[in-house]
Amino acid sequence: MEKLSTKKLILSIVIILITIVLWVLPTQSFGIDGLTVIQQRTMAIFVFAALMWLFEVIPAWATSVVTIVGLLFAVSNKGFMIEAAGTTVNYKEIMASFADPVIMLFLGGFVMAVAASKVGLDAYLAKALLHIFGNKPKFVLLGVLMVPGIFSMFMSNTATAAMMLAFMAPVLKNLPKDSGAPAALTLAIPIAANFGGLGTPIGTPPNAIALGALTKVGIDISFGSWVIHMVPYVLILLLIAWVVLMLFFPMKMETLEIEIESNAKFDRDFWIVAITMPVTILLWVTEGWTHFDSNIVALVPFAVFSITGVFKEEDFSKIEWHILWMVAGGFALGTCLNETGLATVIINAIPFTQWPAAMVILGAGLVMYLLSTFISNSSAASLLMPVLAVVSTAIKDELTALGGAASLIVYVAICCSLAMTLPVSTPPNAIAASTGMIKTSQMVKVGLILGIIGGVLGYVLLRIAAF
């Protein structure tokens, strides 16, 4: 533990020194035409955040908070030395990152997940849905893929994986280890949780970061449009995962029973949640017809659960606030990159417009996949998406034939969730690895195959179905 602390201390000092050097160097030393002092400060803070996220010196959410505070002091119109050359950013725009509409969308999703768990609706639905798949091992495996896949569209994929593995633990312990079933069923849960998160904007933080980055450059994707495009893709991935798992881990038994205990009481609170959740989801997916903004709709369950007493003061502690602050940091960086003009300067300095659009999409996706394999996918998304959003508008004409200007960012978001080859790649992977039911080599093999297949299919999807 001491060595780890010392290592982090050294890393912190090195990162701070790099940030200071970037801050104090003459602007002309960067070799970028038109770089202003304000843009230089933004660049220094961007590099600070990138390195902190990359090496995880402090928690990702803490890096985001420090980044926002740094931007407020360094580049806002209420900061210090605001007479420095360059366009400053209205401090209200930076602070608004904490309450960005997409943050409210995520908050609504977290509130629904907390309420569903509190009244036992999640366990009741899991039991009911798994029952549909019967007791034949191959169909049970399909159920173990589909159920958490659906759940993680509306719940944290970490919470989904933890819940499902808790349900499955008694079953897994009693299965013969040489049957293939323990590994197949254990791997199915993180795979489903990671894939399922792609289905909706609230399924995983990179989706929200992607939407926020696109909004900053004037591209809006509705909740319903995202669902229409991504849910079929998720279902295809889950079916492919089913085939891959059966090929690698044949299950040698005639029947397989999974019993899930539900604490649902079917009382007043249960029915309030059971009615409010589908109504909210319906309003989300019909945004194109009702014209109710999905970010506003997300606050409906919060209001209903608050006024009816389903959601109480102590339930606030169950919301994953660290995820919200993590996402907010990415939004603040995106705002400052755009408002100071730094993003445009970077785009002009790098000849993206001279590269084939397909190469830009696939190259950015590969970089995101590699980053997300080793660091938090939220950190990786916050790092790359603000700049890539500006790239998408700079080459929007070239992207038209490849699914539109949004295709670059959406593909990068897809690659975030496809990166699941190692236990450290995603929290669901880490939870599954901690059971001892699977080997890292098994996770790498299956994760790599599904990542490649998912990347190819994602690219094809964006080519044939533009947002």
Report phi then psi at 321, rounded to 5: -60, -30
Kindly give the parts of the chain with pLDDT less than 70. 1-4, 81-84, 353
H or E segment and range at residue 138? helix 137-151
pLDDT of res. 1: 40
User: What is this structure's pTM?
Assistant: 0.86
Q: Please state, as a whole number, how many other Cβ atoms lie within 10 Å of the Cβ of residue 456.
A: 11
At residue 430, the pLDDT reads 86
Res 82: pLDDT: 65
- CB within 8 A of 43, min separation 6: which ones? 22, 30, 342
- Residue 452 and residue 458: Cα distance in Å, rounded? 10
Q: What is the pLDDT of residue 2?
A: 43
pLDDT, tens digit, 9 for 90 and up, residues 136-177? 889 999 999 999 999 999 888 888 888 888 888 777 877 777
Residue 102 is which amino acid?
Answer: V
**Helix 440-464 and helix 357-374: axis angle, to 10°?**
150
Task: Check residue 194 and report its DSSP letter.
Answer: H
What's the confidence (pLDDT) of residue 43?
92
Q: What is the DSSP string of 252-300?
A: --S------------SHHHHHHHHHHHHHHHHHHTHHHH---HHHHTHH
Given this model, what pLDDT does residue 4 score? 53
